[in-house]
Chains A and B, each alone.
Chain A
């Protein structure tokens, strides 16, 4: 097991090196450097001035030299300064990751139970009307990317319900939600009013996929021999599902949920840009739009680390949850 983890860690480091190298290469392509010069320096610089600007700031030094310099910085904990935010990257990133962490936390605690419930209910009696209905719901949710559900929810909750709340006395006030989460990182903090829409939008897209996986795994378990034995023994259906089936059916969704993180990362970018929430995703978008090299490198490092670590956890967790699997 230890060797397995060590080897995986080695591959992880190699992946991160390769990826940061690629990102560094791409951000240092000439057109991207010019974009940086134009957004950070003066917009109306001539070509010659742009080159001069880049030269003065050391962007035109040999590529490998600068990459190793950056790499050295990583090992000493110095990720450089962000050209877009005029702030040390480590500081900015810590702040932004904390904000996104909160968003992720709420997404996870809404998405996972909902998805598991839908999946288990659909899978425990395969082929029934309940199963069909819930399957359609989960297929529908996988067909609704964040930018679509975000639009629909904002139209409903932020504009229509606002108008209704103002005209009809009976309309519950709390259903009117804020279409912007900008205030959530500000003084007011996270409230139901400003945080529900982004969380809902993100949870919907991922939910369907996890629910489908849970359903498939549950349906498979329900046909197993020991379930039949339990039924013949006369155990109540409810306790068969809860005591016998659930435990075995939830192994596969565990991996799927863990592997959802990379997917959620894309979702985070869209949702944060949509609802104007100052988190990691918005930082990535702004960094990419301005070709803020240091911040982009740090962002890619962070997201790759998240992806790889969740993969590792899902592999190790799988082995622990399923004793039949042995690693070599």
Chain B
């Protein structure tokens, strides 16, 4: 079962590290790291292919003064989709609404922190950031992120 009502978290190709109130996920396929805040991490945790979106909302709302809306869960799922953290992309229910509109709507009413997933790309090169030293143009630019693109072979330094 993996329809939009029963989202399933992806597990293959991911390295997961739990830290207090957050979860870090490194995607070996895209070479990107993601940091899920507590709400996003909780939603991801319950994306087990058996728990529906309303059920996840119910779980997150336990012990809170007011109910957690399905929209908040969908907002998390929308981001999990975007970062390829679900087994299959699921159609979210925000048709015709921008994320900003949804955020505004949920943000005013929610007793739970909005789900946030922040991401960062990891360097692929073994020689990433070798002080912008180079032997050829190939050692500059993308090979050493943050360094200028051209190798000045006289000084062996990447230059603009």
Chain A partners chain B:
no
